[in-house]
Amino acid sequence: MRILSGVQRLTRVLKLLAAGALSAAPRSQAQNQRSALVQADRAAAQLSSDSGLTVVLDHYLRSDGVLLWPGALTLIGTKDVLQFTAPLQRSPRLRLSWQSLGIEMSQDSALAALWGIALATGSRDTFPPRLGRIVTVWQRGTNRWELAVMLLVGAALSENKSAVSAHGSNQAPSFTPSDPSKVYLDADRSFAQLARDSGASVAFRTWAAPDVMTFGGAGLLVRGREDLSQAVAGPEQWDWHPVAGGSSGDLGWTAGEATIRGGGSTNYSKYLTIWRRSPGKPPRFIVDAGNPRPGP
């Protein structure tokens, strides 16, 4: 009996070790992917500082990637994105660098959102350094991480109005019912509908996660659902719609165009919203950022 008991104990120990190894494997894989993403992000920032943003986007941007540049229309696809950024780099030779400070990754380690500080500089003192914010979404491809979305707040040049308004689209593309990102696109639309019906303060309080973080058009950081609700309170009429989106399981993103009317003026903007979904619950957004766009 003593020998049998020892065998039983040994069997239980082996089972526990096996279970621990199985549970550690996904964690190890997630850590490896997180490390690979951080390295890719740092390499992209360094390449942008050394050789220019167009080189970075040409190398990392997905074919359907989105660039949300201050003062420009929504740029979707590498052709429009590269056509837009090329002249901005030639004169006044814009150099953009950034440092990501936060990261949110999907449970399957296939999608991640990063946010941090961006710095734009020009050669030969063409313009003073400009500090701002950056939010990016990366998607894991077959062999590497790829850039799905980049949004800048406050750290980019927008004086070149002809270049800014020459590309992009105000038109919302259609999404198929089988699109895996539909749950996040639907959440964004419901969020917008509530803002139209009940005001921005109610809508943001309803759809924001408790620990939400937002970057406004001037780079102002707002943390927390209640503070955000107070920040957007007012008589202005908010209206927006998504034009692009992506997801992987519990993490998703939507990008779109907004119009805010009030006080005798109309403001046109673009936005990037990062969503998190818990099992059995509707999505709630955890990060939101925006910048200006041209009017109609």
Q: pLDDT at residue 290 above 60?
A: yes
- C-beta of residue 272 within 8 angstroms of C-beta of residue 76: no
Of the candidates 228, 226, 195, 131, the residue with the CA atom closest to the CA atom of residue 187:
195
Shared domain for 97 and 210, answered yes or no, is no
pLDDT tens digits for range 255-273? 999 999 998 899 999 999 9
Q: What local confidence, expressed as pLDDT, does residue 28 receive?
A: 72
Distances (CA, A) of 247 to 60, 72, 103: 18, 25, 15
Shared domain for 141 and 190, answered yes or no, is no
Under the banding of pLDDT at 50, 70 and 90, the label for residue 94 is: confident
Taking the C-alpha atoms of residue 134 and residue 150, their distance in angstroms, rounded to an integer, is 7
The rounded mean pLDDT for the chain is 85
pLDDT tens digits for range 17-59? 455 544 454 567 778 999 999 999 999 999 999 988 999 999 9
Cα torsion 160, 161, 167, 170 to 10°: value is 140
Q: pLDDT at residue 219 above 70?
A: no
pLDDT tens digits for range 66-87? 999 999 999 999 999 999 988 8
Q: What local confidence, expressed as pLDDT, does residue 69 receive?
A: 93
Beta strands in the chain (DSSP E): 61-68, 75-76, 95-105, 111-121, 130-140, 145-153, 208-215, 221-223, 237-248, 251-262, 265-276, 284-292
- C-beta of residue 269 within 8 angstroms of C-beta of residue 293: yes
Shared domain for 243 and 143, answered yes or no, is no
- Name the residue range of residue 271's domain: 182-292
Under the banding of pLDDT at 50, 70 and 90, the label for residue 296 is: confident
- CATH number, domain of 122, equals 3.10.450.50
Shared domain for 149 and 195, answered yes or no, is no
- C-beta of residue 59 within 8 angstroms of C-beta of residue 38: no
Under the banding of pLDDT at 50, 70 and 90, the label for residue 5 is: low
Confidence (pTM): 0.85
Total number of domains constituting the chain: 2
